[in-house]
Chains A and B, each alone.
Chain A
Amino acid sequence: MAFAVSSDPNLVIVAWTAVALFGASLACLLASLLLRWQRQREHDHHEAVSNRWRPLLYAVIAGETLPPVALPEKDWVPFCMTWLRLYEQVKGSSQEALIRALHQLDLRNRLLTKLRGNDTDDHLLALLMLGALREPLVIGPAQRMMNSRYELLSSVAVRALLRVEPEAALPTLLGQLNRPGWSVARLMSTLLPVSSPIRRKHYLRAVDWVAEDQLPALLELVARTEADTFASVADRALHRQPYGLEILVTVLSHTRVPQHLTLAKVALGHPDSRLRLAALSAYQALGSLADIERILGALDDQAWQVQAAAARTLVSWPDMTPPDARQLLAALPADSRGRPYLFEALYRKGWVALAIDPQGAAAHA
């Protein structure tokens, strides 16, 4: 073969490429086996460090002093992870005891050095640990990292900020509402660990200064995290934007304030079906048999979603009894658009059987 290929440089290239490809494949295999071996070693090391430190940290939680134990650099990561896992499991004085142990080990400076480095793994651990220590020097780096496109780093930075200075961090976070990367859901999961009084205070302030396009998102956030404060925030938002469609939709969707039924009454005739749906939400929570005529009207709405919501609203009222509901169904014209939805709603409540209305059972919209 050597004589044949040496006469043609292109064939030599192809031959050597083949050799290189097989070689690279073998290298991938060896690398896989090496990775597996390394991972096992690392796992064993982490286990060993964890087994050494966990009893010491438990003893610290129990009130004992940490004995003078050195923490070599190679043990830093497994130690931090063990410490953090324990920290997340305990509360109150136990957490304080763990923090005292960290101070005893004089890790603060080492953590700050890691934070200033370039390694993302170090940043993540350092942010969490320094956040737990409530170290003020973490605020600057955390504020820079909270807008990182790497979601993990951003989330950890925000957690650190909220631990160190929640009062300062909250306005910064609320200012991100509805901005790229900051959905209501994300803010919800970020702010839920913050104490309720602090949240409430900042929500009530934020309604006066957030941008107008952020108001609906703020209302949504308040409705889902501080329902008791919703009414106050909603009134102030409506005061700022009395005719904002999105605000009205959000308020009516979440309200438990009887006075808002006046708004719902008007909203039920609005051309936008989202607002009509939101109005029905309000009626579902706050309405009664006194509102029946209005809801019967909604049962014949153009939008099927509104018809279905009207049916659900009717059966949700505490003063609606099964005989009243069945009578209502019987009184509806056979060609009523909302009739099948009302039948379904009644069936779900167990107020009618399938045999009563075979037409309703086979209804298709």
Chain B
Amino acid sequence: MHELWLTTEAAATGLVGWLINALFWVFLVYSVLAASSYISLNLIALSAVKRATRRGQDLFLPKLHEQTLPGVSILLTAYNEEALIVSSVRSLLQLNYPDFELVVIHDGGKDNTVGVLVEAFNLKKYPAVVHYEVPCARIRAVYRSEDHPNLILVDKDNGGGKADANNAGINFASKPLFCSMDADSILERDALQRVIRLFLHTPDTIAAGGTVRIINGCQVKDGHLVSVGLPRSLLARFQVLEYLRAFLFGRLGWSRLKALLIISGAFGVFDRDAVIKVGGFTQGCLGEDMDLVVKLHKYHLERQKPYHIHFVPDPVCWNDAPEDLPTLRKQRIRWQRGLLEVLTLHRSLLFRRRSGTVGWLAYPFMIVIEALSPIMEMLGLVFTLLLWLTGYLNGLAAVTLLVASIGLGLLLSTSAILLEERSFHVYPSYKASLKLFLLALVENLGYRQLNSWWRLVGTWQHLRGAKSTWGEMKRNTGWISQ
């Protein structure tokens, strides 16, 4: 093997030099593998985006008649959401959908979430009979409102995380479909109709997710999005790019390959019966959204039952992104731990017979590319630094490789910006596109590395078996106008 990366002194050390060189090739091959996987997903997503954004869709799509739309239970989990919960509930109660109920699950937080809801919506205690079809912590009380007959508040003991809260909601849901959401999410008014259409027209659909976008920098009034803009904070702007990459080509691409493993907890619609059959969300699981989808895949693949799990790029949910480092750090560590938890829990799916693209493509990708990437990135960085310090490194080669790596990251981000422009072009100005491009450059100078570090911390915590918690998320409410 050609000793490309080493100085002649290092190359002269024989076996050690050979090993060091081999390691560099491993990192290079890994980068190429990761890059080509993402680029392939890009290309697959491109064809799906074209169909989803065809001009004149309003003319071509069959009109939805109210009597054809199935009922939906919207599950809104709330833990210390006093600041946002009333506006979230108000916004959701105005959804343009004929048959829905809103189940707010208060997960035993320390603030006055229940108090503000009771007052705002004239809620009263209600003698509901609880049937624990899926396991959840004890239900303390149930409230209903005469003013809003389709609003239910479930107050439960804390424990089991968001998964447990969702399960409590499922136990109270009376409609055939349920939509799990975050308390800080704003749904576009017809978002639910757009995703439900899939359940109507593709039989055997058991789950569908929609795009989640960053609401920071936008303006919301009375629960409606009135203007869209880029966030002011640099941290939130980086996340805009990340969300574009993750949702526009990541999930869309996997959905086209019938191997979607994640539907965001911020906005996903599920068949209630299908979820009950797999035991609901796994209590205490940090990656509860991915875990549920993987369980659904496993259940149906094992039984060779026809099913569909979709990602629909068109309906949009707007979510609040962390704007401070500690909150973002907590989130990224939790995401990494959630990912590893799920991959470990369901490892039997990997290369399983008759598991199709799920077991043979998506699962290996998640392990090799998603889960291992922070380790590989950090190892590569540390390794390069060590070699440089010991004088063994061919600096020019390393710099060239680094520049190529930055170029690859830039290409992935700019192709996401291009896809965004090709499809939903949500950000209205030329300036926004240019800003996003600059962000795509700048994110390689620290933000990406910071994320890798946090994900590494998450990996370490997972390996150590450290206690997993959601923690408290600091919310921004600047985008709300009352």
Contacts and interface: CB of A to CB of B under 8 A. Distances in A.
B126 A186 contact: no
B57 A152 contact: yes
Interface string B152-171: 00000000000000000000
Contacts of A17: 404, 407
Interface string B422-439: 100100001001100100
A365 B127 CA distance: 12
Nearest to A4: B396
Contacts of A347: 126-127
A128 B437 contact: no
A15 interface: yes
A128 B60 contact: yes
B60 A124 contact: yes
A108 interface: no
Interface string B36-49: 00000000000000
A18 B127 contact: no
A340 B127 CA distance: 8
Contacts of B131: 304, 365
Interface string A308-342: 10000000000000000000000000000000110
A29 B396 contact: no
A343 interface: yes
Nearest to A341: B129
Contacts of A245: none
A25 B407 CA distance: 8
B437 A29 contact: yes
A225 B65 CA distance: 11
Contact of B397 (A14, A188, A189, A304): A14
B411 interface: yes
Contact of B125 (A120, A190, A354): A354
B14 to A, nearest CB: 20
A317 B414 CA distance: 64
Given A33-B433, A39-B425, A183-B203, A189 B414 contact: no
B396 A1 contact: yes
Q: Is the interface of A mostly helix, strand, loop or mixed?
A: helix
Contact of B421 (A4, A35, A185, A363): A35
B411 A28 contact: yes
Contacts of A28: 411, 414-415, 417-418
Contacts of B74: none
Given A185-B70, A185-B200, A18 B411 contact: no
Main secondary structure of the interface of B (DSSP, over half): helix
A364 B440 contact: no
Contacts of B56: 81, 84, 121, 124-125
A272 to B, nearest CB: 16
Given A29-B433, A185-B200, A344-B127, A8 B68 contact: no
Interface string B46-78: 000001001111011111110110100000000
Given A14-B404, A360-B127, A121 B54 contact: yes
Given A28-B418, A185-B70, A192-B68, A33 B62 contact: no
Contact of B400 (A15, A85, A124, A155): A15
Given A8-B4, A21-B408, A180-B203, A33 B68 contact: no
Contacts of A14: 397, 400-401, 404
Contacts of B430: 33, 36
Contacts of B433: 29, 32-33, 36
A210 B70 CA distance: 25
Contacts of B63: 189, 193
Nearest to A352: B127
A188 B63 CA distance: 11
B202 A18 contact: no
Given A84-B59, A224-B67, A181 B202 contact: yes
A14 B406 CA distance: 12
A181 B203 contact: yes
B228 interface: no
A185 B129 contact: no
A105 to B, nearest CB: 19
A18 B404 contact: yes
A185 B400 contact: no
A243 interface: no
B200 A183 contact: yes
B201 interface: yes
Contact of B417 (A29, A156, A181): A29
Interface in B120-135: 125-132
B406 to A, nearest CB: 8
Given A11-B4, A18-B404, A25-B407, A183 B67 contact: no
B127 A189 contact: no
B6 to A, nearest CB: 12
Contacts of A357: 127
B129 A36 contact: no
A178 B70 CA distance: 17
A304 B129 CA distance: 10
A340 B430 CA distance: 62
A29 B414 contact: yes
Interface in A1-47: 1, 4-5, 8, 10-11, 14-15, 17-22, 24-26, 28-29, 31-33, 35-36, 39
Given A128-B60, A190-B62, 17 more contacts: A4-B396, A5-B400, A10-B4, A11-B397, A14-B397, A18-B403, A24-B414, A25-B411, A35-B422, A39-B425, A88-B59, A124-B54, A151-B202, A152-B61, A183-B203, A185-B201, A365-B130
23 contacts: A10-B2, A14-B401, A18-B407, A22-B410, A28-B418, A32-B433, A81-B59, A84-B59, A121-B56, A124-B56, A152-B57, A155-B201, A159-B62, A181-B201, A192-B68, A224-B67, A225-B67, A304-B131, A340-B127, A354-B125, A354-B127, A360-B127, A361-B127
For the complex of A and B, 4 pairs with smallest distance between CB atoms: A21-B407, A28-B414, A18-B404, A361-B127
Interface of B: 2, 4, 51, 54-57, 59-65, 67-68, 70, 125-132, 139, 199-203, 396-397, 400-401, 403-404, 407-408, 410-411, 413-415, 417-418, 420-422, 425, 430, 433-434, 437, 440
Interface of A: 1, 4-5, 8, 10-11, 14-15, 17-22, 24-26, 28-29, 31-33, 35-36, 39, 77, 81, 84-85, 88, 120-121, 124-125, 128, 150-152, 155-156, 159, 180-183, 185-186, 188-190, 192-193, 224-225, 304, 308, 340-341, 343-344, 347, 354, 357, 360-365
